[in-house]
Structure 1
Amino acid sequence: MHLIQDQAELEAVIAKLEQSSFVTVDTEFIRETTFWPILCLIQMAAPGVTALVDPLAKNIDLAPFFRLMANEKVTKVFHAARQDIEIVFHLGDMIPHPVFDTQVAAMVCGFGDSVSYDQLVQKVTGTRLDKSSRFTDWRHRPLSHKQLEYALADVTYLIEVYEYLRTELEREDRAHWLTEEMDVLTARETYDPHPDDAWKRLKMRVRKPQELAIVQALAAWRDREARERDVPRQRVVKDDAIYEIAQQGPRDSQALGRLRSTPKGWERSSTAAALLEIVNQALDLPKEQLPKMPKQVHQPEGSGAAVELLKVLLKLIAEKEGVAPKVLASGDDLEKIAGEGENATVPALSGWRREVFGERALQLVRGEVGLKFEKRRIVEFDIAAAE
């Protein structure tokens, strides 16, 4: 088991991988104490080629790796790709393309919602992986043989998994389903959110525009601070503190120090001083410059029961099509379809999802499709035909 720590060796193995039509990729990283993940290990494999690359080695330049990630002739195969792609984007300022995510493909092929890598490997290959090294501190050197063996298994078995899923997608004529999902996964905006939009990730607990103005300003300020200092957002200021500050509107350190969600003495720090400046600016906004409160969509009476019926329909269609229900529609999709019908702007009503599930869901909402028990099973039927 060999760890590549030399530039010439990295160039040579990348040249071999570039000859393949696909390469399986995984990364090991640490991010508990930083805003950006610390890349500690890169694993890659293709038929007849394997590579373990040490990105922490002093003389390693990852340019060849990023070149491979950008190579349009080589499909990059990940399992649960989002965090791996985030790392490549941050370090290489690029998005790998084309990409095949085996977790998404597995959902399309009926392996259930968000199936783990080891579960998928066992189902496809019959091999039970040893996951005892999962919580390793990957920054520590030297890495043991067992650690490297564990890491390499994350890409070697992925070859067989990929080939199986690709064949299944082609056999079921569902390759285009995955293409739509990969377009979202490889969109640059997925990994480069603007700090001004950071407030959208918070669970809203505000009641009026002035509180929303404080939440928006603090969330953006916290995001910039966390990025600049390379620390987790919660290390700058916790979510609960943002909510309480928005509601109480403290203008000075004394008022800030009285809040229950901030540590004792924190109000005298330089961070707190910057925070108070942001809060005062938000509090002094003229009424006409305050943000508009997000519209609360009130579901019509009886929509809760409609959602339950849609859940039954979703399960029926998912079982019929052999896919995970989550692939076809989310709970939020169902609530909006129940309340807004055709006007609902949700993924379930666009592309292949509409063809497979969304149109039938709308027919159920319009009363054109019904559900009934038949031979101890629930089945759907066309109401007009039944009449």
Structure 2
Amino acid sequence: MIETTAALQEACAKLAQSDFITIDTEFLRETTFWPQLCLIQMASPSVEVLVDPLAKGLDLQPFFELMANAAVTKVFHAARQDIEIVHHLGGLVPHPIFDTQVAAMVCGFGDSVSYDQLVSRIKNVPLDKSSRFTDWSRRPLSDKQLEYALADVTHLRDVYLFLKAQLEREGRALWLTEEMAVLESPQTYDMHPDDAWLRLKSRLRKPQELAVLKIIAAWREREARSRNVPRSRVLKDDAIYEIAQQQPKDTEALSRLRTVPKGWERSSSGTAIVEAVNAALGLPKSDMPQPPKHVHVPEGTAAAVELLKVLLKLISDKEGVAAKVIANTDDLERIAAEGDKAEVAALSGWRRELFGDTALKLIEGGVALRFVNKKVEAVEL
């Protein structure tokens, strides 16, 4: 376990001599807004290290410099949360990166394949999962826990090399580059509080309701960040929805809501909520959020979507690419309704070449699906 800045500097200098390094982190976030980084695991073909970010006096700057080193590919599995931690603590997004979960989907290992599944299928090595629910903030960690943590990056080296070779062999390396661009974008991790309402699964459609929803969600986001507590500790989603619908203009009205804890209206938070509601209702209608435009669905579209799902399954199986990477149900609905005018990922880049063009031909009557020898196949007409 690396516990000093000098030792971390030395280890990072050795790791930086390699073309790639594998990385994983262990963290806790059940009781905090920001994840608490508890352990960093890294490996190159010749170096394996564990870093204790909780060690007193340890400066993680050498680690952040390594993350920013463009000459070294940073390999993660399901990278988003690990990158979120680096971005929050170091103010940067690692570059370049390679996410083996995304690569596995492009290589035909299925949707959202887990790390242990990949190791089992590629290396034929079962992983010990008994330490999965470790409290990584406790010290000291046992040898078994440290061995479990290190295995998250040592096997990842072979997984990376296998997937990288397959991508190059099948001419799909650029496909992954497009996917990594999203993970490498700072905008992916710079969620502004004013955009927090977009993450909520709400059926509200009236501009006034959406205005209240937006301003209350932004207030909760700022509160959760400043107090470093989970959003639900500040205000639950159900309470936000009820406030947006009922729009309490005073504390008495707030106290009558079922989802608001008894007595909460007398707190400073209750006062802030009422002020936020009145501010939202005072906005000009032109400044209120508008509900998403409803896409007109022509008659017969539902059947067309079902045919597109069959075509997607057919092509994903044939090409060995997870259907989820190529298109989702929303993409298929848009294609069925709007044809070539649909602005969806499935109609651009490699996805269009692989699936989109054939999908358009299908809904235009240029391609048919037929059942032959107990299998479905697509044929041009």
- TM class, shorter-length: over 0.9
Paired residue for 1:285? 283
Paired residue for 1:244? 242
For the 8 Å contact 1:24–1:159, the answer to whether it is kept is: yes
Q: Counterparts of 2:288 and 2:379 in 1: how far apart (Å)?
A: 51
Letter in 2 for 1:216: K
- Which of 100, 113, 138 is 1:102 aligned to? 100
Q: Secondary structure at the match of 2:141?
A: coil
Letter in 2 for 1:106: A
For the 8 Å contact 1:108–1:323, the answer to whether it is kept is: yes
Q: Counterparts of 1:153 and 1:293 in 2: how far apart (Å)?
A: 47
Letter in 1 for 2:43: A
Paired residue for 2:270? 272
Point out the more displaced range, 3-12 or 88-97: 3-12
Paired residue for 2:144? 146
Letter in 2 for 1:140: R
Q: CA separation of 1:287/1:176 partners in 2, compared to 1, >3 Å: closer, same or farther?
A: closer
Q: Counterparts of 1:268 and 1:46 in 2: how far apart (Å)?
A: 56
Aligned length: 381
Letter in 1 for 2:222: R
- 1:331 shift after superposition: 1.5
- 1:162 shift after superposition: 0.5
Identity of counterpart residues, as a percentage?
A: 67
For the 8 Å contact 1:205–1:243, the answer to whether it is kept is: no
Paired residue for 1:41? 39
| Structure 2 counterparts to residues 1-387 of structure 1, below 5 A | 3-383=1-381
Q: Counterparts of 1:168 and 1:322 in 2: how far apart (Å)?
A: 11
For the 8 Å contact 1:76–1:100, the answer to whether it is kept is: yes
- 1:251 shift after superposition: 1.1
**What TM-score, normalized to structure 1?**
0.97
Letter in 1 for 2:377: V
Q: Counterparts of 1:103 and 1:289 in 2: how far apart (Å)?
A: 41
Q: Secondary structure at the match of 1:196?
A: helix
Q: Counterparts of 2:138 and 2:97 in 1: how far apart (Å)?
A: 30
Letter in 1 for 2:120: Q
Letter in 2 for 1:267: E
Q: Secondary structure at the match of 1:77?
A: strand
Q: Secondary structure at the match of 1:370?
A: strand
Q: Counterparts of 1:207 and 1:140 in 2: how far apart (Å)?
A: 47
Give RMSD over aligned pairs. 1.0
- 1:290 shift after superposition: 3.0
Letter in 1 for 2:289: P
**What TM-score, normalized to structure 2?**
0.98
Q: Counterparts of 2:155 and 2:205 in 1: how far apart (Å)?
A: 51
Q: Counterparts of 1:348 and 1:287 in 2: how far apart (Å)?
A: 35
Q: Secondary structure at the match of 1:89?
A: helix
- 1:204 shift after superposition: 2.4
Q: Counterparts of 2:341 and 2:196 in 1: how far apart (Å)?
A: 27
Q: Secondary structure at the match of 2:127?
A: coil
- 1:300 shift after superposition: 2.1
Letter in 2 for 1:79: H
Deviations 1:125-172 (A, max 9, x none): 000000111111111011111110000000000000001011101100
- 1:283 shift after superposition: 1.8
Point out the more displaced range, 15-24 or 216-225: 216-225
For the 8 Å contact 1:70–1:94, the answer to whether it is kept is: yes
Where structure 2 has 5 or more consecutive residues not aligned to the other structure, the ranges are none
Deviations 1:337-384 (A, max 9, x none): 11111111111111111111111111111111110011111100112x
Letter in 2 for 1:195: P
Q: Counterparts of 2:96 and 2:110 in 1: how far apart (Å)?
A: 24
Point out the more displaced range, 275-284 or 172-181: 275-284
Q: CA separation of 1:382/1:216 partners in 2, compared to 1, >3 Å: closer, same or farther?
A: same
Letter in 2 for 1:40: C
Q: Secondary structure at the match of 1:167?
A: helix
Q: CA separation of 1:327/1:207 partners in 2, compared to 1, >3 Å: closer, same or farther?
A: closer
Q: CA separation of 1:228/1:73 partners in 2, compared to 1, >3 Å: closer, same or farther?
A: same
